[in-house]
Amino acid sequence: MNKANEKNCQLALKNKDPKPMEVTKFFKENFFFDKEQQINNNGIMTGYYEPEIKAYKYQKKNTYPLYKIDINKYGETIFKRTRKEINKGLLTNKGLELAWVENEIEAFFFHIQGSGRLRFPNGEIKRVKFSGSNNKKYTSIGKILLKRNKIKKENMSMYSIKDWLYKNKDEALEVMEQNERYIFFEEYVGEIKGSSGVDLQPMISIAVDTNYHNLGDILLINDIKNKKYFLGIAHDTGAAIKGSSRIDLFTGFGHQAEMIASGLNNKISIKKLKPKNKINF
């Protein structure tokens, strides 16, 4: 790295509230668009967030367990069964329950987010994150509800899906079990991290398909719907994120973050930035 780039990197790290002109200057001086790796097709940007749900340390009526993995004790095979098989009690009474959450619908969406906060009646907060899956294919229940004419395409969102499940509980279980992929969790302390091991930054961190992007890649994203550009950094991955121009934007924690994430289904185009020289931050 040359001295000029090194100086700019140090300034970038120290300046916690840079002016727009400083940001523009930094990227112009240190990065370029890699024409050989540009993504020309329009893609889709959805959102994800860190949810918080009610939880209990013991089983109550209608509550649903969040499980951890213990391969040393039980082997791998039992943790590779389908969502339906697990729902029938495959893991019951094995001491694998991290907590019981308010109902299966909230647990299902907690699985989709992959991490979150559990709030217990005494006010205690436990943070849990993805620790593994059953390695089954992820199936979008939104697409299933659309195919079955349960929700119109123009009305499709996380909220409309959840609302339909709550209003049709006699059908909800069967629909959710169409997504065979099942997530396991573990406790952690500190900030939420992506699969890169880096703390997720609201409205900056994105989940990508690593068949097309490397973790740490910087992408200039054109949000076609809102007619604006912004920079995203590939800090995470996701089972539903497939393709070169398919991304998931981390929107943060809490109700506002949930509102933003649930409304994201925007058309985008992407350009990949590459450093002019090797930059070690």
pTM of the model: 0.77
Q: In sequence order, what E strands does the chain have?
A: 31-33, 39-50, 52-56, 64-67, 97-101, 115-119, 125-133, 183-187, 205-207, 218-223, 228-236, 246-253, 265-275
Residue 21 has a pLDDT of: 76
What SS3 class is residue 147?
A: helix
Q: How far apart are CA 178 and CA 146, in angstroms?
A: 13
CATH numbers and ranges of domains, the chain: 1-31 (no CATH), 32-48+196-275 (2.40.40.10), 50-187 (2.40.240.50)
Q: How far apart are CA 127 and CA 125, in angstroms?
A: 7
* 253 beta partners: 50
Give the length of the chain: 281
Sequential DSSP letters for 148-197: TTSS-GGG-SHHHHHHHHHHTHHHHHHHHTTS---EEEEE--SS-B-TTS
* 268 beta partners: 43, 223
Scan for tokens 């924690």, then name that residue: 253
Per DSSP bridges, beta strands 246-253 and 205-207 are antiparallel
Residue 72 has a pLDDT of: 96
Q: How far apart are CA 132 and CA 69, in angstroms?
A: 7
pLDDT in tens, the chain (281 residues): 444 434 444 545 555 566 777 777 777 788 888 766 566 567 999 999 999 999 999 999 999 999 999 999 999 999 999 999 999 999 999 999 999 999 999 999 999 999 999 999 999 999 999 999 999 999 999 999 999 999 998 888 888 999 999 999 999 999 999 999 999 999 999 888 888 988 999 999 999 999 999 999 999 999 998 999 999 999 999 888 999 999 999 999 988 999 999 889 899 999 888 887 755 44
CB 51 within 8 A of CB 117: yes
